[in-house]
Amino acid sequence: MDNYENLSLDQLDGLDLDYFRRHRSNGGTSEFDPSVNDISRARIEAFRRERGACFLGNINLYDKERDNPDYRFTPYTGQLVHNFEYTLVLPTEDETLRTLIIEHNRPSATFDSKSVWRGIEQITARVQEIGGITLTWA
């Protein structure tokens, strides 16, 4: 495991991008190079260190979270974050984003890939608008 703890969020974002460039041919991640997992955890910590507040969330909800209309973001206080546990790092608990995520995860009678993709685009646009970031796991 590399030591990423003293790097800035900008430096870690650069490492995240470099990772994708190295693994471009196989879709962007590699189970043989899980370093992006450590980079993602370091990005969470750097985000909190540099921005003060830090909340974690997901685009896709599963099990109990999916059925919970009161879904909330998780405050990050330094706790262990497992691979694939979260996909979003946020500076605030944004109600608009929370509503978009709940709507995106609402069960529908039929699968419509255009609607799913539109929901993901709306969510990621809102994450960027409020100054959040997305995470990558391998």
Cα 75 to the center of its chain, rounded Å: 14
- Kindly report, residue by residue over 32-65, the tens digit of the pLDDT: 778 999 999 999 999 999 999 999 999 999 988 8
Residue 1 has pLDDT above 60, yes or no: no
DSSP state for residue 51 in the 8-state scheme: H
With a CB cutoff of 8 Å and minimum separation 6, the contacts of 62 are none
Q: Are 43 and 10 in contact (CB under 8 A)?
A: no
Q: How confident is the model over 17-22, as a mean pLDDT?
A: 87
With a CB cutoff of 8 Å and minimum separation 6, the contacts of 49 are none
Q: How confident is the model over 100-120, as a mean pLDDT?
A: 87
The secondary element (H helix, E strand) that includes residue 75 is: strand 74-75
**Using CA of residue 10, residue 11, residue 14, residue 20, what is the dihedral sign?**
negative
